Structure 1
Amino acid sequence: MGKRKLLDLIKREIRRRNYSYSTEKTYCQWVVRYVRYHNLTHPRELGNRDIVKYLNYLANECNLAASTQNQALSALVFLYEHVLEIPVGELKKLKRAKKPKRLPVVLSKEQALAIINEMSGVNQMILELIYGAGLRISEVLSLRIQDVDFAYRQITVWNGKGRKDRITMLPDRVIPKLKIHIEKVRRLHRSDLRKGFGKTILPKALSKKYPGAEEKFIWQYLFPARNRRKDPRSGIRHRYHISAKNVRLELRRASNILNIPKRVTPHTFRHSFATHLLKNGYDIRTVQELLGHKSVKTTMIYTHVLNRGGKGVQSPLDQG
């Protein structure tokens, strides 16, 4: 099998399992890099030692982060076990890249609101949902119209990180402007339908379960892109959601204007959401569920942010 044939097999298996297009691109890229590293040798002719050698190369010589090395490992395990049907087994002598233990960057409530108020339009709404509901930016951008429930004031996140579904709150502040925004999206969708477009891309299982649903308004993205584009899998021209790049650029602009002395990203507002809830006395298990963390240990990192300097101990300089 040539490289193109191998990549086609990987794509076919990924699509059969309903993995995202970003996962498809990432896995194919790692397989290509792996094959090139071993001088274009087919993976069938390589074994565990070759996998370990490549992963150690990423950690030791490329100085890649632990998460990046894990991503490469996941891609290669998928290739061998699900495409080539060759068990990987135990990877002896694998040197894991060290994952530094860092506390998350958290804004004060005043800083968070100042940045949000400095922004406008769709970018402002997206940031309000990240900070107000604890969503990841990828989760906000993947929302469909029907995922927002005004009656119960809640948002449903489908297939979030770890392929988990969850429900979180819908902040009151964003409701009026979100209703106006949805009406704009409705008019845009009607215009697309009149022009012969208006179909969105659904996961394969849903498109089979609900034939014709791709044209329904409730399945459209909550934040559709300005321009239509051709889907690389189906060939359908549709409106994908807007790019996270636009949000990051606008956020950087607002942070610079306000001279915020911290490195601020969209994820900073998710960290701030969790920290501020705990500061207000909410139970850590509740915060865990809202964030969609698999383990409460992940959520507990925000309790460290709440501590004052020196683990909350009062300095003798401040004592009477």
Structure 2
Amino acid sequence: MPRFHVRRSTLVEAPLADIYSTVADYSTWPAWSPWLVAEPDAEITISPKPREIGASYSWKGDLVGEGKITHLHLEPDESVRDEIRFAKPFRSRADVWFEIRQTHDGNLLAWNMEGKLPWFLFWMKSQMETFIGMDYERGLKMLKEYIETGEVKAETRLHGLVDVEPVEIVGIRQRCHRRELSEKMPPLFQQVHDLLEQAGLEHGRGASVYHHFDCKSEEMDFTSGFECNAPLVDLPEGLSLWSLPATQAIRVEQIGPYEHLGNAWSAAHQFLRYRKLKENPAGSFEVYQNDPETTPADELKTDVYVTVKS
């Protein structure tokens, strides 16, 4: 059976003891779980003494599946080693461990998973490593925030399948690695705004379209710009127009900093798999409900729409 290994890390501005005590305590896990954001009402069972060897954390839900993770070895202020067993959507097990150590750049927290895929899923090894890695990155962002501030200022609201009116978004289309999106997008919005203003064209809310994601290279093909308030007759040079007819989409509302937007996209795709729906290759999109220049980060609102095939 094909083996896989995923490792992601972050720097945390907190003492090693605080990092360890949070990670080793299963009672904190629901606050920063990258999966429960999609199904906060899932059934969670935690051992009475959640920071001891043999303690366990189990979950059961429609979107998150079913499984259990158990503490095997705890090294105070250094590491947490667990075993995770999945019951649904398919049976498997893996080793999970956290490394905590001081580095020249700060206190490092690394999250690892190593295991074997069932033989019938050998073809998914690369995809699994990519998507588990993305989940770990989302989880580490929330865990870092939780350790440093005592809370995670983000909320994910899954609204399910909804009807969507026709949409037109004008913007600039580019490609980049998914980790570069937060750096690439802001100047694109400014550039699109300036081009529309020079042409005397009004626009609506900010929006981005995701045309395609390459799982192997993790390259994203996207357009960033604005909703069209009226049909565009003459498109300014350098801009492209993306149109979507009336359709259905999975809508997820994300409240809080843009760095947690991945939670909304993950929730939408968890729902997509649960309902056995297929994503529309025409593209999916997100609409920014307020202005990041004038809105506190924890009050930002974004609607994510994953379009589905009819």
Please classify the TM superposition score into its range, dividing by the shorter chain length: under 0.3
Q: Return the TM-score normalized by structure 1.
A: 0.26
Q: Return the TM-score normalized by structure 2.
A: 0.26
Which structure has greater helix proportion? 1
